[in-house]
């Protein structure tokens, strides 16, 4: 591995906390009871061939996935970059050297210097501080879109796939219509129908982003629908809602996670593109695309003002692509 390993311990801790269930509470005592005196190391407990409980088996699987993921240096770089960026924007008030809104008109368009690390913009505002706070807006928009879109797409896809018939046909026609426009252009038209701003940009991107998820979830559901365990669940008298929510939907989550991660980068680019065209976040908000749009006028002389947010967008989007690529190899090997 040539590159730096950006904080494997951080990454370790993050997966542990980001995971769905707390690890220690119920599971560990059971395992200890199964193998008394020499208390097994956590690693052995995770990698055992004979898990004593269901959660031990599940955690073992996750750990093995993590081990496979860790072997992919590019994916680790992606994960590290994302964690670093999250830390930077969460700690923005501490790390920012200036107030992102304060103008210093005597010091406009200054080159990078010890006081202004990345220079200043056309109103003398500190570019480094604006990028930190802008990350909250750009990445916040992306997170908002994903939170709106992933559950919706998942639900629509599973219902269409499981119910079949008229439902399926109608829902899939609707996705067809939304897929019949290039994403940015449909988002542009939607923003035009509302008012340019962060909320309408999020809504517009969300409206254009859900159909692929619905398609993916539907395709997965169609294969899951015919499996024996779904038939068994149905025979025991489970209602369709229970079958979809408990037995079908969770199975679609891994491939959807991969898709969402890979899609994050394109959502970042769309959000920044809307900002750049003047239809996303409005100045004086320090959204990255909006910053480039205003700095564009000075590109020939003070190029760094436009370039710095550009690098931030590129880094964020590349990191999600790298992470998604690595996740795909682990979670969804058949899609390679």
Partner 1 sequence: MNARLRALAATAASIPITLLGLVVVTFFIGRVVPIDPVLAVVGDRAPADVVARARVELGLDQPLLAQFWRYLTDILSGRLGRSVMTSNPVWEDIGRFFPATFELATLAILVAAVLGIGLGVLAATRQGSWVDQAVRVFCLAGHSLPIFVLGLVSLLVFYAWLGWLPGPGRQGVAYQDLVEPVTGLLTVDAAIAGDWDAFRDAWWHLIQPAGILAFFSLAYIARMTRAFMLAELGSEYVTTARAKGLSERRIVWRHAFRNTLVPLVTVLFLTYAGLLEGAVLTETIFAWPGIGQYLTVSLLNADMNAVLGATLVVGLIYVALNLLADLLYRLMDPRTR
Contacts to partner 1 by CB under 8 A: 74, 173-174, 176-178, 180-186, 188-195, 265-266, 269, 272-273, 276-279, 289, 292, 296, 299-300, 303, 306-307, 310, 313-314, 317-318, 320-322, 325, 336
H-helix or E-strand containing 14?
A: helix 8-18
- Beta carbons of 137 and 197 less than 8 angstroms apart: no
CB of 184 to partner 1, least distance (A): 5
CB of 304 to partner 1, least distance (A): 11
In angstroms, rounded to a whole number, what is the distance separating the alpha carbons of residues 279 and 192? 8
Of 102 and 192, which has the nearer Cβ to partner 1? 192
Of 144 and 271, which has the nearer Cβ to partner 1? 271
CB of 65 to partner 1, least distance (A): 22
Of 60 and 196, which has the nearer Cβ to partner 1? 196
Of 56 and 175, which has the nearer Cβ to partner 1? 175
Of 104 and 325, which has the nearer Cβ to partner 1? 325
CA 200 to chain centre: 20
CB of 202 to partner 1, least distance (A): 17
Task: Give the sign of the dihedral formed by CA 333, CA 322, CA 319, CA 183.
Answer: negative
CB of 67 to partner 1, least distance (A): 21
Burial 56-88 (b: 16+ CB within 10 A, else e): beebbebbebbeebbebeebbbbbbbbbebeeb
Which two tokens mark 23? 């690890």
Of 243 and 312, which has the nearer Cβ to partner 1? 312
Radius of gyration from C-alpha coordinates of the chain = 24
By the 10 Å C-beta count (0-12 exposed, 13-18 middle, 19+ buried), 237 is classed as exposed
- Beta carbons of 294 and 220 less than 8 angstroms apart: no
CB of 293 to partner 1, least distance (A): 9
In angstroms, rounded to a whole number, what is the distance separating the alpha carbons of residues 147 and 82? 18
């Amino acid at each position: 591995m040539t590159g730096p390993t950006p904080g494997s311990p951080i990454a370790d801790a993050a997966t542990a906390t980001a995971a769905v269930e707390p690890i220690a509470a119920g599971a560990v005592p059971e395992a200890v009871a199964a193998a008394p005196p020499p208390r097994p190391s956590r690693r052995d407990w995770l990698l055992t061939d004979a898990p004593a409980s269901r959660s031990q088996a599940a955690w073992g699987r996750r750990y093995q996935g993590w081990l496979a993921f860790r072997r992919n240096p590019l994916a680790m770089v992606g994960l590290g970059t994302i964690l670093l960026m999250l830390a930077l924007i969460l700690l923005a008030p501490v790390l920012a050297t200036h107030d992102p809104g304060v103008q210093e008109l005597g010091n406009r368009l200054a080159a990078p210097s010890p006081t202004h690390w990345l220079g200043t913009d056309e109103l003398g505002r500190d570019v480094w501080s604006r990028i930190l706070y802008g990350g909250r807006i750009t990445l916040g928009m992306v997170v908002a879109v994903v939170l709106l879109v992933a559950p919706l797409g998942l639900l629509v896809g599973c219902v269409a796939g499981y119910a079949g018939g008229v439902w399926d046909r109608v829902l899939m026609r609707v996705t067809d219509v939304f897929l019949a426009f290039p994403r940015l252009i449909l988002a542009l038209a939607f923003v035009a129908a509302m008012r340019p701003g962060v909320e309408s940009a999020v809504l517009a991107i969300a409206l254009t982003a859900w159909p692929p998820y619905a398609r993916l979830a539907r395709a997965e559901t169609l294969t899951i629908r015919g499996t024996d365990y779904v038939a068994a669940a149905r025979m025991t008298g489970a209602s369709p809602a229970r079958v979809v929510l408990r037995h079908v939907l969770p199975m679609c989550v891994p491939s959807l996670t991969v898709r969402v991660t890979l899609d994050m980068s394109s959502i970042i680019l769309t959000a920044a593109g809307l900002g750049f065209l003047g239809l996303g976040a409005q100045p004086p908000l320090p959204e990255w695309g909006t910053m480039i749009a205003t700095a564009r006028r000075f590109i020939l002389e003070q190029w760094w003002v436009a370039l710095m947010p550009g690098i931030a967008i590129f880094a964020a989007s590349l990191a999600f692509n790298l992470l998604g690529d690595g996740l795909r190899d682990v979670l969804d090997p058949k899609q390679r």
